Structure 1
Amino acid sequence: MAMSKRCIPYTPRNREAKESIFALVTTTGVHLRNQEPYIEDDNSWRLLPGDMQTDQLMITHDHYDHNDADQDINCVFPIDRLRELAAEGLIGGINNKHLGFGFTQNLRDLYERAAPAMAKEIMRSQADGVIVTAGCPLCHRVATAIQREIEMTGIPTVQITVIPESTGQAGAPRAIHPQDFQPGHNLGGPHQKSLQRQILLDAIRRWEAREEPGTIWELTYKQSAE
């Protein structure tokens, strides 16, 4: 039975970030170049292997500007920054698989079938925590629905939102909001490695924090060229 958005699912973490395996889940339209592109409203997702390289990834999505993310996928899908944190011992490791999703207005099927099935994919993986990103405003609602389902399986999650109104109204368990960032720039601009790293670290810090479910941290960053 679906949970009311007024009830926010919340799983307290049971280990530190440095001991935890993290997965990425995104509704920004990320997929492998050799996978079928997303078709709007079909609610299919793509399994993204943990050992993929960024040059194997592309974006299929017509509802937000992803020109910068096309240059640097880490703007919306911070796999390189996550690997760097793992190499430094700041997180326990990278999950063996991640999930990508495209644009949908088929919300009933999302809530009843797709989101629970995606949550099961994560539950059956090595993940101890999940970092969620989204593209357009509706994609933030979709991402939050998936995030809530993952949380209900017992895995704590955090979203990096650029549309906090959608994320909050949909009942995300945890989130951070880089203020004044636009869709397609959840972690900043292309090749802004230091900024991307800081935002990702703050998301993990929010993941670790024991605060009231639904709390969105409002954070300010300086977007300088590197």
Structure 2
Amino acid sequence: MSTYFNVPFTRFIGDLHLKKIAIVSVAGVMKKGYVPSEDQEFVLIPSDTPASELTLILRNINPSILNGDLNVLFPVDRLWELKEDGEIAGPTKNHISVLGFHLLQSRVRKEIAPEIAEALEAEDAGVVLLLSGSIFWNRIATGIQHVVEEWGIPTVAITQHPTVTRMGHPPRAFCPVGLRPGHAVGLPNQPEMQRQIIMEALNLLNTVEEPGLVVEKSYSDYALVD
């Protein structure tokens, strides 16, 4: 791990198709029926949980825009498909869902993010894909990203708020321009688009050589529905 202007940065070494990918979401995604304890800051979600069995417990995103497809915020199904395509080694056994944007940034960095990084290390994560989905959760996602990089695990964030993300100096970040907040990896029920965005984000591991860059790309060939 190196630092550039006090931003931790772990270089990606090896081949993506040999790496396990872990999702860290700050959108409040949860398995249906699961009730977290009051002091629970994050949970492990088994990677074999289909997106159809997930739900949102936070309400900063209108669930109706998800159109029943939680993959846009927590792309569990898409990672299995990318494994089948030979793009990645597969998902880690568990992914991580952070439960609230109310957390103090200082507490995230000193207490919660190190616990998350330790859990990711135990999962043997080769790469971590961070998703926030809302401007309210963006700073927390970047704070977690910094600590995970300090632990020597390379990360990529996907953001819908590039200006705010740049202010946090992310190690690596990708912005699919034109997609509304909540559609982190593409439009609902468009798996091909979602896989494309995930792979373009992951490919930054091989192209970004210093932290702080947010790579933007437009997807104008997809019609957005208001």
Judge same fold: TM > 0.5, yes or no: yes
Deviation at 1:223, TM superposition (A): 2.0
CA contact (8 A) 1:9 1:173 kept: yes
Please name the residue that 1:18 is paired with. 17
Alignment of 1:19-34 (within 5 A): 19-34=18-33
Following superposition, the deviation at residue 207 of structure 1 comes to 2.2
Task: Give the corresponding residue for 1:158.
Answer: 156
Unmatched 5+ residue regions in structure 2? none
Instruction: Report what 1:128 is aligned to.
Output: 126
- TM-superposed deviation, 1:67: 2.2
- The whole-number CA distance in structure 2 between the counterparts of 1:186 and 1:33 is 21
> Does structure 2 conserve the Cα–Cα contact (< 8 Å) formed by 1:86 and 1:93?
yes
Quote the offset at 1:5 in angstroms: 10
Alignment of structure 1 residues 188-199 onto 2, 5 Å: 188-199=186-197
Greater shift, 55-64 or 125-134, is seen at: 55-64
Task: Please report the TM-score for the alignment, with normalisation by the length of structure 2.
Answer: 0.90
**Residues 29-38 or 125-134, more deviating:** 29-38
Contact 1:74 1:81 in 2 (8 A): yes
Q: Which 5+ residue runs of structure 1 have no aligned equivalent?
A: none
Question: Does structure 2 retain, via aligned residues, the 8 Å contact 1:188–1:223?
Answer: no
Post-superposition Cα deviations, 1:19-72, rounded to whole Å, max 9, x if no partner, equal 111010000111111322586xx5610101122122221111122233233610
Q: Indicate the residue corresponding to 1:98 in structure 2.
A: 95
Counterpart CA distance in 1 for 2:160 and 2:6 is 22
SS in 1 for 2:25: strand
Cα deviation 1:142-192 (Å, max 9, x = unaligned): 011111111111110001100112221112100101112221111222101
SS in 2 for 1:9: strand
Residue in 1 aligned with 2:143?
145
Q: Pairwise CA RMSD of aligned residues?
A: 2.0
Q: Verify: 1:88 aligned to 2:85, yes or no.
A: yes
TM-score (norm 1): 0.90
State the partner residue of 1:79.
76
Residue 18 of structure 2 contacts residue 89 of structure 2 at CA under 8 Å; is this kept in 1?
A: yes
- The CA distance in 2 between the partners of 1:16 and 1:191, in whole Å, is 29
Counterpart CA distance in 2 for 1:34 and 1:209 is 41
1:94-138 superposed Cα distances (whole Å, 9 cap, x missing partner): 111100012233313222211111111101112100111003212
Q: Map 1:197-216; keep pairs closer than 5 Å.
A: 197-216=195-214
Question: How many residue pairs are counted as aligned between the two chains?
Answer: 220
- AA aligned to 1:190 is P
Paired with 1:61 and 1:70, the residues of 2 have a C-alpha distance of 16
Match of residue 57 from structure 1: 54
Map of 1:169-188 to 2, 5 A cutoff? 169-188=167-186
**1:160–1:176: 8 Å Cα contact kept in structure 2?**
yes
